[in-house]
Amino acid sequence: MNWLELLNNLETGAVRAASQDENGQWQANIEVKQGILEAFKNGTNTEFPGGFVDKDNLAPRGFSAEDNIRMVPGGTSVRRGAYVAAGTIIMPPAYVNIGAFVDEGTMVDSHALVGSCAQVGKNVHLSAAVQLGGVLEPIGANPVVIEDDAFIGAGCVIVEGVVVKKGAVLAPGVRLSATIPVYDCVNERQLDKGEPIPENAIVIPGSRPSSSDWGREQGLSMSCALIVKYRDEQSDASLALEEVLR
C-alpha cells in the first residue's frame, strides 16, 4: 500500500506498527515503519493555525462526539496516523504521535506522551507526565508496549522497546529502559535483558550500589526497578478509584 493508504489504515486500526506473534512476542511491523518514513519524505512544510509548522500531509487529527473519544481542550494533539479507540480520555496537554495505537477505555493524563509507534492496550491508565518513548529508526527496533489493564504512575519513563505486560502497576517515578535492571524481589531473581515486566507485577523505583570499587567508596548508587509484589484484591481496590474520573 502507498503511504496515504497506510496512514488511513493506521487511524482505523486496520494495521499496526507492532503486533504479537504466535508465541505472544511483540514484533515491529517494518513495512508500516517504512511507510511512515515515506510519508515524511513526501510531505512539505506548511503553516497550520496557531503558528505551527509541520508536514502538510501530517495534520493533527480531529474527533467528533460520534467517535466517543473525550479529548479535553487545552493543548492536546493527536497526530495523523495515530489510532485512538472509542472510550479513550485524553487530558490536556498530551501528545499522541504518528503510528501510536491507544486502545479502548484508556486514560492519557496531562503532560503524557505516547511516542511514535508505541502500543497501548485496553483500560490502561497513563498518569500525569508519563513518557512512552517512540521509535521509527532503526527500522527493526520494537516500540514500547503497554498491555491491557496496566497502571502507569505519574512521571514514569518507559523507553527502548520495553514491554509492560497485562495488569502490571508501575509506581510513580519508575524508569524502564533496555539497560536499567529489574529485580523481582518476590521470586528472588533479576529479569533477563529484554524480558517484559510480568503480568500483575507491582514495580517501584529502586537503587543498587555502584558496580565500581571507587563508586562504592563514594557511596554512589545506580537506578533500578523493583518488583515488590503481585496484584491482589487489596491493590485492585486502590486502583479502582480512578474509574470515578471516567
Task: Tell me which of 36 and 246 has the higher pLDDT.
Answer: 36
What confidence score (pLDDT) does residue 106 get? Answer: 98
What's the DSSP call for residue 53?
E
Name the pTM for this structure.
0.94
- Asked if residue 246 has pLDDT above 70, the reply is no
Query: CB neighbours (10 Å) of residue 6?
Result: 21
Mean pLDDT of 29-55: 94
- CA nearest neighbour of 176 among 204, 210, 200: 204
- Asked if residue 67 has pLDDT above 60, the reply is yes
- Asked if residue 201 has pLDDT above 60, the reply is yes
pLDDT grade, residue 242 (50/70/90)?
A: low
**Dist. CA 141–CA 116, nearest whole Å:** 12
Tell me the C-alpha to C-alpha distance, in Å, between residue 43 and each of 56, 57, 137, 176: 6, 6, 18, 34
Indicate the CATH number for domain 3-46+53-179: 2.160.10.10
Residues 99, 116 contacting (CB under 8 angstroms):
yes
**Dist. CA 23–CA 116, nearest whole Å:** 24
pLDDT grade, residue 1 (50/70/90)?
A: confident
- Asked if residue 26 has pLDDT above 80, the reply is yes
What's the DSSP call for residue 17?
S
What confidence score (pLDDT) does residue 238 get? Answer: 63
* Percent of all residues in the chain with a pLDDT value above 70, rounded to a whole number: 95
What confidence score (pLDDT) does residue 82 get? Answer: 98
Domain ranges of the chain: 3-46+53-179
What confidence score (pLDDT) does residue 235 get? Answer: 67
Tell me the C-alpha to C-alpha distance, in Å, between residue 117 and each of 6, 37, 69, 99, 129: 13, 12, 20, 4, 18
**Dist. CA 128–CA 95, nearest whole Å:** 12
- Asked if residue 32 has pLDDT above 90, the reply is yes
User: What phi-psi label fits residue 74: left (phi over 0), alpha (psi between -120 and 50 degrees) or beta?
Assistant: left
What's the DSSP call for residue 143?
P
pLDDT grade, residue 243 (50/70/90)?
A: low
Q: In whole numbers, what is the pLDDT of the chain averaged over residues?
A: 94
- Asked if residue 5 has pLDDT above 60, the reply is yes
Report the DSSP beta bridge partners of residue 20: 26
**Dist. CA 203–CA 47, nearest whole Å:** 43
* Percent of all residues in the chain with a pLDDT value above 90, rounded to a whole number: 88
Give CA angle at 59 (143, 112), nearest 5°: 45
Lowest mean pLDDT among 39-53, 131-145, 225-239: 225-239
**Dist. CA 203–CA 155, nearest whole Å:** 14
Residues 7, 100 contacting (CB under 8 angstroms):
no
- Asked if residue 232 has pLDDT above 90, the reply is no
- Asked if residue 213 has pLDDT above 60, the reply is yes
pLDDT grade, residue 239 (50/70/90)?
A: low
pLDDT grade, residue 226 (50/70/90)?
A: very high
Residues 133, 159 contacting (CB under 8 angstroms):
yes
